[in-house]
């Protein structure tokens, strides 16, 4: 698109108002009666996107004059219901002629429409189904299940008896001047019940338009006067059936046809200013259809075109020209592996070699340029050339991984040169707050070759060094104001995201048949746990529930401080309380609260790592079992200790355990048994309601990664808060010294009896 030979005549559909009138109601569906005038209050329909009959068009545009022509409308009003099968037909009529002021004046008695009630108004244009079929449709579900078959759809409007004369269209009526983003019911207010009420509907075609332009290049010369030639084209695997109403789903069609070959009078020769043939343009129409690379042979749509040509070669300085009266090419229309309703597909390619002599073995055309835009039409005249204005970018979202430049992912095609602006640069910090940054500070930009109409968009941005995902938006605009937006996410080698926790409990907090006790379920009213006896033979602990000196208690976030809080230590943190279910003197069981930490960090952090380093190996740590416990836990082996899960979450402060009340766990064996039990039983529920109950002990390397990423007690990090403050933390293989401990002491100075537990979970 955009070459000097392109002449696509288009007209803006959405601005047109159809002039048609009511002709028959549901009590007399077989008739077609025009109403010349009526001044009584009525329901009136204005239709955009089509025009009654065939408008006068330029002679060289006659092949497309029916693209917006309408022979008749089927208008259905349904009463509202909770489901489509509950929306019953209230009124129907078929309209075929224009009324006063170019409107469809419906025959329904407006006083019969209930004030404030919801109604759905569906409109179908040019359907081949009878009026009786629509009158007996019953409900909306049946309407959306209705299908229509049209053989030789690709030749619509050319006047052949075997091809459709007009395009199937559909729309949903709305009130007001602006079409809603999603179809909705109409409601007539009481103040309008005695007035004429206007509805609007935009009709959109069920077909897609495909324009294929093949331009001769190098030593090829297309010709229409080669003796013995019968130029033409046909389609393989083109769908001939579609839904009457658009339900937004692109399906793989099982009803496909291979068409008969069509003579060249139905495609257009392209010529230069001197009248020389430079190429061929074929206009086709297809119904909605999707397929994939795996079944392209069986379901993919292909154009086979026979273009007579001369081909010139040079041998030893002597030119030789040979004619090719039968010259078959295959154009695979598979770039996007789908056709959508009311979309315009423009395909161009340069042809620089002869095709095949037999139609059964056509030469495939490669290096196709493929543009897709909504099939809304517009007349543009720039420098004497008439053609569509468009801007297409291949991606709406772009992810960049651990690099500062991407030169290949984004592709654009435009009818005029583009400019690119960077907007809305930010990252999400450790408390889930959006932090705006400057594009200049991080060399963020998008660029193309100056004046280019197609090609790659180069995206540049310094690699983030704060372990967060950097977000920014590219706004691409061409000279006629068409605009595309691409949302970019840039990922460093290691990055961290977070989610706010809401409450915690253990799933062993129950007795008998009760469910575990949570903030919403009193159950056995168990909210704390302490150590019982150690069984040396099995290497396991017994536990006491709701006993004194607990080592862990259930917690809940009572409130979270805003990111704008004036106190640095409160900003983004939460008021965390212990909760308990207690019985009062009237035998009522009520929740009670006591302070756990205010302010405290109730966020779970999700760490993702995309490559190994000299300090650890990426891999999902091995899990193992024990005959004395009924769960899997992290294998304590030395090889497993070096592994770091590529994607793991860290439990929040709601699951934190310190050694204050379990001094009897005074050996690594006892400590690890306690820690693995706690992680196996621990449950944390996020603020969004997600339940996380698959926690485990970290490996030694995973603990060291957390220590490396986190801030310190005096220096904050952007991505992850200061989480680990005890001298030692328990890994599956034993204790790991915390070099960023709260006391800032060395390992030799650290209190070896002071240790803590933080559980993690693999998150994919």
Whether 245 and 266 share a structural domain? yes
Question: Mean per-residue pLDDT for 395-403?
Answer: 91
- Provide mean pLDDT across the span 183-193: 78
Residue pLDDT, tens place only, 743-764: 888 888 888 778 899 999 999 7
pLDDT for residue 100 is more than 70: no
Would you place residue 20 in the very low, low, confident or very high pLDDT band (cuts 50, 70, 90)? Answer: very low
Sequence-ordered alpha helix ranges (H) in 251-290 = none
Report whether pLDDT(379) > 60: no
What's the whole-number average pLDDT of the chain?
A: 85
Distance CA 348, CA 1 (A): 7
**Same domain, yes or no: 410 and 346:** no
Q: Is residue 536 part of a domain?
A: no
Same domain, 377 and 400: no
C-alpha 228/C-alpha 696 separation (Å) is 79
pLDDT-above-70 percentage for the chain: 88
| Domain-embedded: residue 582 | no
Estimate to the nearest angstrom the gap between the alpha carbon of 551 and the chain centroid: 46
Measured over the CA atoms of residue 281, residue 282, residue 287 and residue 291, the dihedral's sign is negative
pLDDT reading at 624 higher than 90 = yes
Q: What does the pLDDT read at residue 103?
A: 75
More confident residue, 81 or 315: 81
- In DSSP notation, 105-143 reads E--S-GGGSPTT-EEEEEEEES-SS-HHHHHT--BHHHH
Q: Is the pLDDT of residue 439 over 80?
A: yes
Question: What does the pLDDT average to over 471-479?
Answer: 96
- 201 and 213 assigned to the same domain: no
Does residue 702 fall inside a structural domain?
yes
Give the model confidence (pLDDT) of 589-623 as tens digits: 899 999 999 999 999 999 999 887 777 889 999 99
Q: What is the pLDDT of residues 344-363, one digit of tens each?
A: 888 888 888 899 998 888 99
Same domain (yes/no): 244, 283? yes
Residues 217 and 337 in one domain: yes
Structure-model confidence comparison of residues 415 and 699, the more confident one: 699
Give residue 306's domain range: 207-386
Same domain, 99 and 150: yes
Chosen domain end from 436, 455, 490:
490
Q: Are residues 399 and 374 in the same domain?
A: no
Position 594 in a domain: no
CA 151, 152, 154, 157 torsion: positive or negative? Answer: negative
pLDDT band at 65 (very low <50, low <70, confident <90, very high): low
Query: What is the structure's pLDDT at 133?
Result: 96
How many domains is the chain partitioned into structurally? 4
Boundary-marking domain end, from 490, 512, 529: 490
Confidence of residue 119 (pLDDT cuts 50, 70, 90): very high
Task: Verify that 252 and 337 share a domain, yes or no.
Answer: yes
CATH number at residue 433: 2.60.40.10
* 567 within domain boundaries: no
Share of the chain above pLDDT 90, in %: 54
| Same domain for 257 and 168 | no
DSSP 30-70: T---------S--EEEEEES-EES-----GGGGGGGGGGEE
Q: Is residue 5 part of a domain?
A: no
CA triple 593-594-598, angle to 5 deg = 115
- Mark which of 490, 513, 535 sits at the end of a domain: 490
Q: Let me know whether 148 and 224 are in one domain.
A: no
- For residues 327 and 398, membership in a common domain is answered with no
The residue that leads in pLDDT, 194 or 96, is 96
pLDDT above 60: residue 319: yes
Element (H, E) at 676: helix 668-681
Question: Is residue 523 in some structural domain?
Answer: no
Q: What pLDDT sits at residue 376?
A: 63
H/E element, 678: helix 668-681
- For residue 52, give the nearest of 76, 92, 21 by alpha carbon: 21
pLDDT tens digits, one per residue of 279-318: 899 989 999 999 888 888 889 999 999 999 998 887 777 8
Note whether residue 433 is domain-resident: yes
Cα atoms in the 13 Å half-sphere on the side-chain side of 467:
23
Q: Output the pLDDT for position 378.
A: 37
The pLDDT confidence band at residue 56, using thresholds 50, 70 and 90, is very low
Residue 191: the pLDDT is 55
Determine how β-strand 418-428 pairs with β-strand 434-436.
antiparallel
DSSP 149-197: E-TTGGGTTS--TTS-SS--EEEE-BSSSS--SS---EE--GGGTTS-E
């Amino acid at each position: 698109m955009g070459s000097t030979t392109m002449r696509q005549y288009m007209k803006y559909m959405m601005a047109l108002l159809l002039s048609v009138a009511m002709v028959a109601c549901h009590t007399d569906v077989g008739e077609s009666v025009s109403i010349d005038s009526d001044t009584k209050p009525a329901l009136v329909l204005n239709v955009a996107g089509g025009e009654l009959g065939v408008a006068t068009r330029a002679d060289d545009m006659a092949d497309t004059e029916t693209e917006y022509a309408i022979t008749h409308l089927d208008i259905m009003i349904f009463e509202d219901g909770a489901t489509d099968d509950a929306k019953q037909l209230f009124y129907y009529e078929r309209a075929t002629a224009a009324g006063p002021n170019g409107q469809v004046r419906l025959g329904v008695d407006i006083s019969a429409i209930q004030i404030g009630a919801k109604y759905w108004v569906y409109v179908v244009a040019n359907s081949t189904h009878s009026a009786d079929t629509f009158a007996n449709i019953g409900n909306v579900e049946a309407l959306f299940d209705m299908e229509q078959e049209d053989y030789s759809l690709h030749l619509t409007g050319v006047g052949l008896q075997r091809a459709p004369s007009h395009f199937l269209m559909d729309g949903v009526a709305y009130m007001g001047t602006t079409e809603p983003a999603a179809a909705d019911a109409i409601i007539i207010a009481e103040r309008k019940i005695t007035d004429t009420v206007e509805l609007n509907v935009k009709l959109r075609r069920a077909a897609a338009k495909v324009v294929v332009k093949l331009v001769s290049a190098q030593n090829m010369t297309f010709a229409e006067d080669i003796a013995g030639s019968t130029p033409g084209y046909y389609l393989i695997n083109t769908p001939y059936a579609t839904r009457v109403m658009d339900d937004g789903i692109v399906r793989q069609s099982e009803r496909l046809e291979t068409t008969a070959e069509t003579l060249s009078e139905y495609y257009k020769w392209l010529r230069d200013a001197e009248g020389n043939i430079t190429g061929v343009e074929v206009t086709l129409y297809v119904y909605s259809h999707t397929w994939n690379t795996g079944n392209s042979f069986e379901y993919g749509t292909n154009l086979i075109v026979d273009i007579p040509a001369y081909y010139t070669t040079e041998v030893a300085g002597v030119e030789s020209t040979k004619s090719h009266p039968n010259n078959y090419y295959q154009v695979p229309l598979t770039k996007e592996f789908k056709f959508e309703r009311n979309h315009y597909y423009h395909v161009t390619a340069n042809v620089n070699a002869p095709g095949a002599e037999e139609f059964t073995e056509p030469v495939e055309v490669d290096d196709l340029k493929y543009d897709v835009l909504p099939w809304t039409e517009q007349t543009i005249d720039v420098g004497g050339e008439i053609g569509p204005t468009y801007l297409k970018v291949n991606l709406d979202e772009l992810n960049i991984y651990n690099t500062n430049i991407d030169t290949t992912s984004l592709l654009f095609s435009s009818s005029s040169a583009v400019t690119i602006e960077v907007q809305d640069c930010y990252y999400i910090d450790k408390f889930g707050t959006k932090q705006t940054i400057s594009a200049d500070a991080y060399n963020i930009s998008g660029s193309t070759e100056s004046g280019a109409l197609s090609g790659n968009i180069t995206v540049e941005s310094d690699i983030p060094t704060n372990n967060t995902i950097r977000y920014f938006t590219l706004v691409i605009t061409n000279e006629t104001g068409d605009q595309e937006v691409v949302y970019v996410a840039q990922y460093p080698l290691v990055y961290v995201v977070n989610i706010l926790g809401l409450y915690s409990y253990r799933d062993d907090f129950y007795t008998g048949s009760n469910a575990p006790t949570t903030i919403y379920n009193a159950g056995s009213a168990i909210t704390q746990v302490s150590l019982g006896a150690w069984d040396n033979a099995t290497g396991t602990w017994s536990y006491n529930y709701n006993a004194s000196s607990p080592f862990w208690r259930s917690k809940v976030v009572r409130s979270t401080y805003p990111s704008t809080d004036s106190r640095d230590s409160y900003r983004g943190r939460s008021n965390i309380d212990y909760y308990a279910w207690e019985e009062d003197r009237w035998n009522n069981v009520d929740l009670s609260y006591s302070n756990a930490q205010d302010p405290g960090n109730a966020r779970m952090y999700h760490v993702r790592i995309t490559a190994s380093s000299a300090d650890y190996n990426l891999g999902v740590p091995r899990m193992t079992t024990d005959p004395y416990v009924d769960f899997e836990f992290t294998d304590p082996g030395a090889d497993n200790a070096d592994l770091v899960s590529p994607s793991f979450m860290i439990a929040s402060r709601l699951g934190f355990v310190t050694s204050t009340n379990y001094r009897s766990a005074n050996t690594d064996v006892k400590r690890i048994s306690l820690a693995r039990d706690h992680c196996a039983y621990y449950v944390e529920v996020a603020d969004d309601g997600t339940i996380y109950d698959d926690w485990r002990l970290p490996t030694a390397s995973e603990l060291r990664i957390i220590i490396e990423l986190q801030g310190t007690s005096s220096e904050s990090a952007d991505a992850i808060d200061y989480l680990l403050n005890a001298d030692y933390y328990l890994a599956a293989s034993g204790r790991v010294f915390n070099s960023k401990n709260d006391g800032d002491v060395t390992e030799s100075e650290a209190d070896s009896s002071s240790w803590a537990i933080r559980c993690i979970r693999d998150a994919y």
